[in-house]
Amino acid sequence: LVAVISNGTAVLGLGNIGALASKPVMEGKAGLFKKFAGINVFDIEVDETDPEQFIKVVRALEPTFGGINLEDIKAPECFIIESQLREQMNIPVMHDDQHGTAIIVGAALMNGLKVTEKEIGAIKLVCSGAGAAALACLDLIVKLGVKKENIFVSDIAGVIYEGRTEEINEYNVKYAQKTDARTLGDVIGGADVFLGVSAPGVLKPEMVKTMADRPLIMALANPTPEILPEEAKSVRPDAVIATGRSDYPNQVNNVLCFPFLFRGALDVGATAINDEMKMACVHALAELAHVESDETVVRAYGLQELNFGPDYLIPKPFDPRLLVELAPAVARAAMDSGVATRPIEDFEVYRQKLTEFVFRSGIAMKPVFERAISNPKRVVYAEGESRRVLRAVQTAVDEGIVKPILVGRREVVSMRIEQLGLRLSVDDDFELVDPEGDERYREYWEDYHSITSRDGVSRNEARFLVRTNTTVIASLMLRRKEADAMICGVTGRYREHLPHVFKIVGLREGVGRAAALSMLIMPKGTFFICDTHVNPGPTAEQIAKFTVLASETVKFFGMEPKIAVLSHSNFGSSRHDNAKKMEKAVHLIREMAPGLEIDGEMH
């Protein structure tokens, strides 16, 4: 349980609106904790601006919470409040506006410098803004390797230089430089990196022109950044740009960090969130951007591919792998640095639990995957050129759950692997069946012709289909025992693929008719629905047989089937023919499989 606590003195984009007015913002923050990391949260709005009184209130809450997320508290009070609470409390305390932003900026900086091919210790960095977030960012990037003498800060009063007295305090004075520059325009020339945590429009296109080659611009003011990406690109096409907005690439968003940082801290009973944990989060976040993109993320953002580069420096906020990668990194850092009170003994088990939270399918599929790992089978993927399939194959190879066989043209498969940034190696990680050049082509079309010749399929038609229809090829491999299972239908309609499978593979002995079984993984549980695709008007006898077959499949997933036979009628409330058919099916099922738990007809 975490407390999100604010006095509403520095709400993003709204300023000092007070505790009561900040409540909807804090409620939203609480929802993000729950959504992304499964952490329960109370939002607490404290109507107190005096730091000492605020500290007393928060400190008294320690017995209730496992962690404190301070939110939207203005500087310099936020520095005092966080510092004293960290000293006085034995649970994690973090001001997210400072450290959450700093962690994301740190990851973006590391990866941005990889893209621009610059050494972190040699860059010149100019920062616009000297508030809580800006100073936390600077403190962290110094720890990453940026030299303090190469950092120049400009705020509302201009460049922070040695001897300046206006708007100077004990927190920003440490970044005062011995320089004659007095404005952002004076100091920006030759800068490799611009960090904006200030106000809209302060970075002008003419300033960007004077920056070093391939500048990294992080313009994070919201909703309007210090410079719009299109303005920066118009004068410096070589610039790499990050903003705080979701409608531009490289969004620096705290949701990439705080849910997972707290989850890792809570799971080991950490007494603090220290520098080691924050740095672990930075590195895990930066490394995740180098891994091939997740299919869920690509679909969510309407993209075909998402590879590390100028437009993809850090993961997207809805990347489901964030929890699985960041929380363990934070937890391990807490253990290594001595602040964990409940060390994790088995990180593989821990990662599996996190995976099951993120990917609800993990719970349902766990028994299947466990059996698959112990004895990987040959699985042929009919649509081997599909981006979606290739991402799935990468995961399957990483997990060691199958021996993949892909049907597809070698040139296209190789090109797509490169486009997607996958680590797959043709012929090493999977077998490739190329319809344009496989040596078994003649055997395949002759087999297909022998199967279908009585249906009027000519030899030429057989040659054409085996050359062009990947579902036919995959089905033939299954029939010839060159594969143990097949996956098809990623493209096209269900009923376009089914006739080929029926004709070539056929049905199990003793089964006269097939049915489709669809698996739905819902928050309340896993449901199987039969028949969803194949039979438009099955008889009561067919429904009974389908139900028994479906129950066998459900047991394969390690579940005990509980069956509801569905109708518009409830236990005889309607005497329509369809209702009577379903009623009859229930009786037949009970006769065929008396051990099944079943009821119906019902709706």
The SS3 call for residue 63 is helix
34 catalytic per annotation = no
Q: Rounded distance, CA 90 to CA 271, Å?
A: 5
How many other β-carbons are positioned within 10 Å of the β-carbon of residue 394? 22
Burial call 441-454: b when 16+ CB within 10 Å, e when fewer: beebbebbbebbee
Q: Which two tokens stand for residue 453?
A: 């010749």
Q: How many residues can be counted in the chain?
A: 603
φ, ψ of residue 169 to 5 degrees: the values are -140, 180
Q: Rounded distance, CA 156 to CA 183, Å?
A: 10
Q: Rounded distance, CA 551 to CA 122, Å?
A: 65
Q: Which two tokens stand for residue 38?
A: 């499964």
The SS3 call for residue 546 is helix
Cis omega before residue 82 (within 30°)?
no
Q: Rounded distance, CA 160 to CA 152, Å?
A: 7
Q: What is the DSSP letter of 320?
A: T
Inter-residue contact 114 to 214 (CB < 8 Å): no
Q: Rounded distance, CA 343 to CA 409, Å?
A: 50
Are β-strands 193-196 and 125-128 bridged in parallel, bridged antiparallel, or unpaired?
parallel
Phi-psi bin for 190: left (phi > 0), alpha (psi -120 to 50), beta?
left
List strands edge to edge, sheet with 93-95.
41-45, 2-6, 67-70, 93-95
**Measured in whole angstroms, how far is the alpha carbon of residue 252 from the centre of its chain?**
15
* Residue 260 vs residues 144, 222, 281, 328: alpha-carbon distances, Å: 21, 23, 9, 9
φ, ψ of residue 174 to 5 degrees: the values are -70, -15
Looking at the DSSP bridge assignments, the partners of residue 95 are 70
Burial call 495-506: b when 16+ CB within 10 Å, e when fewer: eebbebbebbee
Of 23, 29, 56, 403, the catalytic one is 29
φ, ψ of residue 507 to 5 degrees: the values are -110, 160
Residue-by-residue DSSP string for 219-259: E--SSS-SS-HHHHHHH-TT-EEEES-TTSSSB--GGGTHH
Q: Rounded distance, CA 73 to CA 315, Å?
A: 27
Q: Rounded distance, CA 58 to CA 82, Å?
A: 10
Inter-residue contact 205 to 232 (CB < 8 Å): yes
* Residues designated as active site: 29
